[in-house]
Structure 1
Amino acid sequence: MSTTASPKRATTSAMIASFADPGQRTTPAPFGHALAALAERDPRVVGLTADLGKYTDMHVFAQAHPGRFYQMGMAEQLLLGAAAGMAETGLVPFASTYSVFATRRAYDFLCLDIAEPGLNVNVVGGLPGLTTGYGPSHQATEDVAILRGMPGLTIVDPCDAVDIEQAVPQLAAHEGPTYLRLLRGRVPRVLDEYDYTFRLGEAAVVRGGADVVLVSSGLMTMRALQAAERLAEHRVDAAVVHTPTLKPFDERTVLRELAGDRLALTLENHTVIGGLFETVASAVVRQGLGIQVTPVALPDAFLAAGALPTLHDRYGLATDRVVETVLAAL
């Protein structure tokens, strides 16, 4: 008697799974461990969350420093208001929730309680861009666009665990407010294979290349590096410029790499509206470079729900799709 295997169906776990590739090196909860380690050295550091400690890796800090952890419940405005009060007393708070809640629900509190007085509050936003399959209610595809216009706010979009581990102490040392697009759970380790160090406010040329320049941020730097390896098989030499700090933006480094006759693309885990592409494009226009920049970004739309690999392929963030885009542009 023969049987036919049923098609494999995506499960709920697949909708919140890590974006790491099968077999890729990862680090569990790099943000939580980095924050706990920082707190060992700096007694001012405290952690808060809005009922999402486990899902923003803040639970690691809570276990290590229970007396310096504050569970605020499902009240994002209270979360940021309390963090502002703590910063006023000299503490260094890290406040975590999902990016959609930090930006859509609590914008006014972040703006007037934290950014306007220039307080050292570090907002940690989980599930940025397309890092969850739970549809528009949880996909913060427009968080950078919402926050870029806020004066004095530093925005960091890390590529991997290496970026996160190095960014956390620098965010704490930074005097003003920050927003970190958190990668949680089992986060890939990519940048330790390159001569790279995270420096707040600086871009870095991670890989050189003569034919194409890929300017990327967040997890799309991982995809840009993967795409560059595959493009080499097509005799295309691609450079990768990683821009982990989206605001303030390191125009000098990026524009220096864009000057010339190489094909230029931006890659971001964010809507094409108001993020890395428009940041780069505006800098190009202001400096009169006269070059075309092609975006690889999410569409200006509410996205579907589903498994992350399927969604990344559908919306152009998968490595194969990046390679196709570059080859088509060439």
Structure 2
Amino acid sequence: MPPAPLLPFERPIRQLEEKLAALEADPDPSTHLRDAVRALRREIREKTREVFGGLDAAQTVKVARHAERPQTRDYIELVFDEFVELHGDRAFGDDRAILTGFAKLDGQRVLLVGQQKGRTLKERTECYYGCAHPEGYRKALEKMRLAEKFGLPIVCLIDTPGAYPGVGAEERGQSYAIALNLREMARLKTPIVCCVIGEGGSGGALGIGIGDHVAVLQFAYYSVISPEGCAGILYRAEGGATPANVDRAANALKFTSEHLLRFGIIEEIVEEPPGGAHRDHRAAAGALKEALGRAVRELADLPADELLNRRYERFRRIGQFEELAAAGEAVPTEAEAVAAE
């Protein structure tokens, strides 16, 4: 299997790994060589922790979009048992960007809803790179209502840059479909656990993101807009979505897992293996399985009324702020706000 595509900040790690591979290729290693191998492995672990422990928001986006990062179908194989896929929205068609079906999580039956980007060019084209159409959100809602009927918890895996913005999607009611999901998910009388496993972009993510427990993988992001979209709007007079402006927007949006937890947007950060989920699918799946299973168990015994009240209050708390100018204080500039972080 060819090595995963290399991110710019991974080069020091790759150089050490290549050196290690050369040492391990020796057919008759001496004691000295074995000691060198052990030392090099420690150095690789330390360098990986150093590099990935200091990523900024722009670099985190690159990890979240990595071509080898596990997707919903990978987690179906590694986390869930007995998955039975359910197709169609009973109105227009079957959107491949959203997968739905019954599954088992640690012996607990659940309804799984997940966004899929695709691996090959053919699959990505069929999945529109994870950008769902209205029929995808209708499919998700139909199956979630089925879960409510049978008293099954719902697990949603979010991984999309946003809902599909094409003419056909708009003609078929893209905004209405997402808005309807927001309202109806808030009313479902069954536990809903959501986790952003890669990208969590705008309404496309929120369309399956109204839950009682929302988690984010360590190197995923969850945002009202993509960095490119933000840069194109805010920095139009300065060149729009240039690479420098995109990185600037990413760092200004405060959408990494640490920011989201600090602002009360999410309940949990799911730790990824050293170097990110793309380096070790099984370790990432193990952490995700443990987090999802625990959240489902904690919510399972709550009465429906309490569940709905907690869900309502959860989202009402999001977006609290203070108007500093009203208190006679100067509002910090963007540079001052970033420096304060």
Query: Normalising to structure 1: TM-score of the pair?
Result: 0.33
Q: Which has the higher helix share?
A: 2
Q: Which has the higher strand share?
A: 1
For the pair shown, the structure with the greater C-alpha radius of gyration is 2
